[in-house]
A and B are shown apart, each in its own frame.
Chain A
Amino acid sequence: MSEYETIQYEVAGGKARITLNRPEKLNALSRPLQRELNQALWQADEDTRVHVVILRGAGRAFSAGYDLTGPRPTREDIPTRGRSEIDDDIWHLEAAQRERMAIFDMHKPVIAQVHGYCLAGGTDLALLCDIVIAAEDAIIGFPPVRAMGAPPAHMWTYLCGPQWAKRLLLTGDSVTGAEAARIGLVLMAVPADELERTVEALADRMCMIDPHLLAANKRAVNLALELMGARTMQRLAAEIDARAHLAPAVREFNRIAREQGIKAALEWRDTKFGDGRAFARAREAGPPA
């Protein structure tokens, strides 16, 4: 029943399951995938059978982040300038943000079912969901802050507080699902083989409630977040990411990527951080021997 190419969409028993479906790419978020995700979210919102949406990933990961290899978005009917100017950069960041914000703006709750890698752009999606449930061994983090920019979405501070937000965003280090639950970044973590069952059970409880009431209560919490500035913070986060893209380190990353490939650039970015685990003890946190 899915009319999508990069995601799977199914409705059953009051639940819409949206599965990011590029497993060979660890569900890297290409522009077509982001667009299809947006369409599927609104489709679920308009479907009167649906009470709740589950967002999950096919294969080994929820999502390893934005697709760094795909073609740049263009409009065929007008000449575009590519992505060279800063306002083009902001435009593209904001276009993606408008699509992503459907998670926040739609009536129905969205539960993120996070397993495996949930990195960079993967966190932009997952942390915007109403509730995140993770596998204990999931890996959650935003390593691009080491050499590429800042998260264009920012729910970090609201979820885990300013110190943990800084601990993760000033190092690009990651936490496991179990650690993420400890600091409030996700609601709870369960063993990987219980993840789906846990998420489905929570969704089933929401299915017993009139969607209009779910919408009212989601909106109340959202307005509380908005009064704390969360919506405006998303706008500012995209602008700050565009500004971060101007850093000399980002130019260097892009040069290596251009000349030696994206793998070499990622190695240059990450190797010195070792396994990059935020909960590692001090002696383990230095450069690898």
Chain B
Amino acid sequence: MATYQDILYDVDGPIAYITLNRPEKMNALSNNLRGELVHALKEAEFDPAISVIVIRGAGRAFSAGYDIGGGRAAPSGSPYVHPKTGLPDVGSTRPGPSEWAHHVNETNWQAIWENYKPVIAQVHGYCLAGGTELATICDFRIVAEDAIIGYPPVRAMTTMDMMWTPWHLPMAKAREMAYLGDAMTGKEAAHWGWANRAVPEAELPATVEWFARRLALIDREMLMYSKRAVNRAYEIMGIRTAFNAGADIQALSAMRPMGGVFGRIAQKYGLKEALAWRDGPFGDFRTKGNPIPRKEYPDIKPQGRPGQGA
């Protein structure tokens, strides 16, 4: 059995539980964590005893998103990332400028959409940005009623890496989440159809287990065919091409003059200050109930990302 540093892997009968395990970082998706996750998903796919895979988060959150606090790098020698790029290797590590969105989309796609077994996201606490992409690519989402699900980076950084909202929400709501980055609660997520069901957080693990065991009543190959047929319908509707096109647009959005401002504030004054700059005027997340006007940084000019062209 593989040894993991950033996730836990447990088996209970036909269910494989993969627990994102960086609770002190709200399970921020570092490259090593993502690499371990890809590896564990393959293990579960190959294990003939497993019918269903559950992804969940340790501590207060499912995941607050990709690790933008400098924790992206994998420890040297980590077997879970490509030796040249330090990124999870699913064939393409998508090197080159502005390829982040393509890379993370490809990773989620190969590891979860293409997995032969159904994957359930068990979502509680914060599920933000990259966390929503991970949960969305899963087959099912079962959520705590008070979970906070949203994509705040669209307020100041880039568009969504994986443009999932049009596939799960009515158009008006899809636009609201994609433009504003405002969060929905777990209860709202179930109402709109993003989540299969929302339950009080205390009941979440038992509900997920009940749901997973119902799936496991069906033979694994049958589940594989059902997943395959539904996947293919969405592929024919263009989901993969839309994700690819969305990733190209994400790269464009990063090139706009304002695209580098968040990063420069974070670099100079710290991530907390950058998050306050981004979210303060909206009065949510860290500034919940106490909106703070957007601070001016005369020393930081809108000039695009360093080294990424005009």
Q: Does A106 contact B (CB under 8 A)?
A: yes
Contacts of A38 in B (CB 8 A): 91
Minimum distance in angstroms from B133 CB to a CB of chain A: 19
A235→B157 CA distance, assembly (Å): 34
A229→B241 CA distance, assembly (Å): 9
Which of B92-100, B256-264, B280-288 lies at the interface?
B92-100
Contact between A227 and B91, CB atoms less than 8 A apart: no
Contact between B232 and A105, CB atoms less than 8 A apart: no
Contact between B241 and A236, CB atoms less than 8 A apart: no
A227→B244 CA distance, assembly (Å): 11
Contact between A215 and B47, CB atoms less than 8 A apart: no
Minimum distance in angstroms from A82 CB to a CB of chain B: 13
On whether A223 and B241 interact (CB within 8 A), knowing A38-B91, A91-B116, A105-B92, the answer reads yes
A46→B196 CA distance, assembly (Å): 41
Minimum distance in angstroms from A105 CB to a CB of chain B: 6
Minimum distance in angstroms from A53 CB to a CB of chain B: 15
Q: Does A107 contact B (CB under 8 A)?
A: yes
A78→B49 CA distance, assembly (Å): 12
Minimum distance in angstroms from A67 CB to a CB of chain B: 22
Q: Does B67 contact A (CB under 8 A)?
A: no
Count of chain A to chain B residue pairs whose CB atoms are closer than 8 Å in the complex:
56
Contacts of A94 in B (CB 8 A): 114
Contacts of A78 in B (CB 8 A): 46-47
Contact between B236 and A229, CB atoms less than 8 A apart: yes
Contact between B95 and A46, CB atoms less than 8 A apart: yes
Over the window 55-92 of chain B, the binary record of Cβ atoms lying under 8 Å from chain A Cβ atoms (1 yes, 0 no) is 00000000000000000000000000000110000011
Contacts of A101 in B (CB 8 A): 91
A219→B244 CA distance, assembly (Å): 10
Q: Does A98 contact B (CB under 8 A)?
A: yes
Q: Does A36 contact B (CB under 8 A)?
A: no
Contacts of B248 in A (CB 8 A): 219
Contact between A226 and B84, CB atoms less than 8 A apart: no
Partner among A46, A102, A107, A226 whose Cβ is within 8 Å of the Cβ of B244: A226
Q: Does B238 contact A (CB under 8 A)?
A: yes
Minimum distance in angstroms from A73 CB to a CB of chain B: 13
Q: Does B221 contact A (CB under 8 A)?
A: yes
Contact between B91 and A226, CB atoms less than 8 A apart: no
Q: Does B245 contact A (CB under 8 A)?
A: yes
Minimum distance in angstroms from A70 CB to a CB of chain B: 22
Contacts of A45 in B (CB 8 A): 92, 95
On whether A227 and B96 interact (CB within 8 A), knowing A46-B84, A87-B116, A235-B235, the answer reads no
- Which residue, of B84, B91, B116, B245, has the highest number of chain A Cβ atoms within 10 A? B91
On whether A85 and B91 interact (CB within 8 A), knowing A46-B84, A232-B236, the answer reads no
A87→B97 CA distance, assembly (Å): 38
Q: Does B240 contact A (CB under 8 A)?
A: yes
Contact between A227 and B241, CB atoms less than 8 A apart: yes
Q: Does A212 contact B (CB under 8 A)?
A: yes
Contacts of B114 in A (CB 8 A): 94
Contacts of A236 in B (CB 8 A): 232
Over the window 68-93 of chain A, the binary record of Cβ atoms lying under 8 Å from chain B Cβ atoms (1 yes, 0 no) is 00000001001100000101000100
Contacts of B300 in A (CB 8 A): none
A232→B235 CA distance, assembly (Å): 6
Partner among A99, A215, A235, A239 whose Cβ is within 8 Å of the Cβ of B91: A99
A66→B225 CA distance, assembly (Å): 27
Contacts of A229 in B (CB 8 A): 236
A223→B246 CA distance, assembly (Å): 12
Contacts of B85 in A (CB 8 A): 46
A282→B240 CA distance, assembly (Å): 44
Q: Does B224 contact A (CB under 8 A)?
A: yes
A156→B309 CA distance, assembly (Å): 39
A236→B114 CA distance, assembly (Å): 14
A239→B110 CA distance, assembly (Å): 17
On whether A231 and B241 interact (CB within 8 A), knowing A78-B47, A219-B248, the answer reads yes
Contact between B232 and A235, CB atoms less than 8 A apart: yes
Q: Does A158 contact B (CB under 8 A)?
A: no
Q: Does A42 contact B (CB under 8 A)?
A: yes
6 pairs of A and B residues whose beta carbons are closest in the complex: A226-B241, A232-B235, A87-B221, A46-B95, A78-B46, A232-B236
Q: A106-B92, A235-B235 are in contact. List 4 more A-B contacts (CB 8 A).
A: A42-B92, A46-B84, A232-B235, A236-B232
Question: Can you spell out 9 A-B residue pairs with CB atoms less than 8 angstroms apart?
Answer: A45-B92, A46-B84, A75-B46, A102-B91, A215-B96, A219-B248, A223-B241, A226-B241, A231-B241
Q: Give residues in B with beta carbon < 8 Å to A.
A: 46-48, 84-85, 91-93, 95-97, 110, 114, 116, 221, 224-225, 228, 232, 235-236, 238, 240-241, 244-245, 248
